[in-house]
Amino acid sequence: MPGGIGPVSDNRVRDFRRICGRMLTGPEDLIAYRTSYVSLPGSRGYEMKRPSNPSNAFLLKLELRSHPGLLCVVRGAMEPLMGMLGFSAAECRSITRAVDEALSNIMRHSYRGRLDQVIGVSCRRIQRRAHAGICKGIEVLLIDSGPAIDPAKLCGRPLDEVRPGGLGLHLMRECMDSVEYTRRGRLNQLRLVKYAQPSKSRPCP
> Cα–Cα distance between 130 and 134 in angstroms, integer?
6
End-to-end CA distance of the chain: 37
Pick the closer one to another protein by CB: 70 or 204.
70
Provide the minimum distance between the beta carbon of 106 and another protein in the complex, in angstroms, as a whole number.
11
Which residue, among 174, 150, 152, 169, has the nearest Cα to 102 in the 3D structure?
169
Provide the minimum distance between the beta carbon of 59 and another protein in the complex, in angstroms, as a whole number.
22
Pick the closer one to another protein by CB: 54 or 166.
166
Pick the closer one to another protein by CB: 18 or 157.
157
β-pairing verdict for 133-144 and 118-130: antiparallel
> Cα–Cα distance between 93 and 109 in angstroms, integer?
24
Q: List contacts with another protein (CB under 8 A).
A: 2, 68-69, 71-72, 75, 89-90, 93-94, 97, 100-101, 104, 107-108, 159, 162-165, 167-168, 170-171, 174-175
Provide the minimum distance between the beta carbon of 166 and another protein in the complex, in angstroms, as a whole number.
8
User: In degrees rounded to 5, what are phi and psi of residue 134?
Assistant: -85, 130
Pick the closer one to another protein by CB: 72 or 130.
72
